[in-house]
Amino acid sequence: MGVVVVQLGQGGNQQGFSFFNAMANSAPFGGPLEIFFHEGPSNTRTARCVLIDMEPKVVADVMNAANASKIWSYGRHYFTRNSGSGNNWAQGFYSHGPACRVSLLELIRLEVEACDQFCGFLLMQSMAGGTGAGLGAYLLEALRDEYPAACVMSYCIWPFETGEVVVQNYNVLLTLSHLHNHADGIIAVKNDALSSICKRSLAIEKPSFTDMNKVGAQSLASILLPAYWRPVHTGKGCSSATQLKSGSSTGWSGSGAGLSVRQLSDLVLNLCAHPGYRMLALHSTPQIHAETLDFTTLTWGSQLKHLKRMLTMRENVLEKDSSQNKESTSKSKNTQGHTAVGSRSVDRSVANLLVLRGWGSETVNVDMFNDLRMYPLWSVDPIKVAVHEASYGNLAMSAGLLSNSQVAILPASRVLSRAYAMYSSRAYIHHYAEHGLEYSVFDAAFASVEDILARYLAL
Neighbour order of strands in the sheet with 37-39: 37-39, 45-47, 72-73
pLDDT at 246 over 50: no
pLDDT at 321 over 80: no
Q: What is the pLDDT of residue 371?
A: 84
Q: What is the pLDDT of residue 233?
A: 61
| pLDDT level of residue 111 (50, 70, 90 thresholds) | very high
3-state DSSP call for residue 113? helix
pLDDT at 160 over 90: yes
Please say whether the beta carbons of 327 and 245 come within 8 A.
Answer: no
Quote the CA–CA distance of 283 and 403 in Å, as a whole number. Answer: 8
Q: Which domains does the chain have, with CATH numbers?
A: 2-224 (3.40.50.1440), 228-406 (3.30.1330.20), 411-457 (1.10.287)
pLDDT at 292 over 80: no
User: What percentage of the chain exceeds 70 in pLDDT?
Assistant: 83
pTM over 0.85: yes
| pLDDT level of residue 32 (50, 70, 90 thresholds) | low
Please say whether the beta carbons of 180 and 153 come within 8 A.
Answer: no
| pLDDT level of residue 294 (50, 70, 90 thresholds) | low
Give the helix ranges, DSSP H, for 288-408. Answer: 300-310, 322-327
Over residues 232-247, the mean pLDDT reads 43
Tell me the one-letter amino acid at 244. Answer: L
Q: Is the dihedral of CA 18, 19, 20, 22 positive or negative?
A: positive
